[in-house]
Amino acid sequence: MAPASPFASVAPTEQSLIKKLCKDTRKPRLCAKIVKGDKGTLLAMNPVTKAKVSIDLATSIASRVGAYMSNQIQKNHVRLLAKSSVEGCKLNYENAVVQLNLAYINFENNPKKATLSLKKVNHKIGFCAKALKLAGSQADTLPIEETNKVIKGLVEVALPVVEKQAN
């Protein structure tokens, strides 16, 4: 029998990470099923629901990463060379959260506005990615860089559905 990891008691479980990630969404139980990769849920879900959950999940992630950046800046955990880039990203993430909320709200009643909001999110997150690239690859910006990719991916799931709603 293998010895238990000394970090087992301090490392968060996958279940607790999923719960934290999904707790701020509008449908936490559905979010948890999707994040866990429940194939039955994914197959049964219509495109509109997938798009809304993607927007909701992107909002939750962006909010958390914005708070992470604020915390890192306040505690001086960001290298001086990357500080202005991370501060710029933080502002872009705050704006992205606003745009994601607008996209969710306007999804059915005003899909053209929702489309515009999602495109603004892609722009804001893209700006963040470029700013971090200019700062150079550093360990303290890696989580933000990875999150940029995740949020852009979630927006790419929602955007064609919203655009179809607009036509």
User: Whole-angstrom Cα distance, residue 19 to residue 91?
Assistant: 26
Listing DSSP states for 95-128 in one string gives HHHHHHHHHHHHTTT-HHHHHHHHHHHHHHHHHH
pLDDT of residue 10: 45
User: Whole-angstrom Cα distance, residue 42 to residue 33?
Assistant: 8
Residue 34 has pLDDT above 60, yes or no: yes
Phi-psi region of 3 (alpha: psi -120 to 50; beta: other; left: phi over 0): beta
Contact 122, 54 (CB under 8 A): no
More confident residue, 85 or 105: 105
What is the mean predicted confidence (pLDDT) over 16-23?
A: 75
Q: How far is CA 155 from the centre of its chain?
A: 9
pLDDT of residue 55: 93
User: Whole-angstrom Cα distance, residue 134 to residue 143?
Assistant: 16
Give the sign of the dihedral formed by CA 128, CA 20, CA 15, CA 6: positive
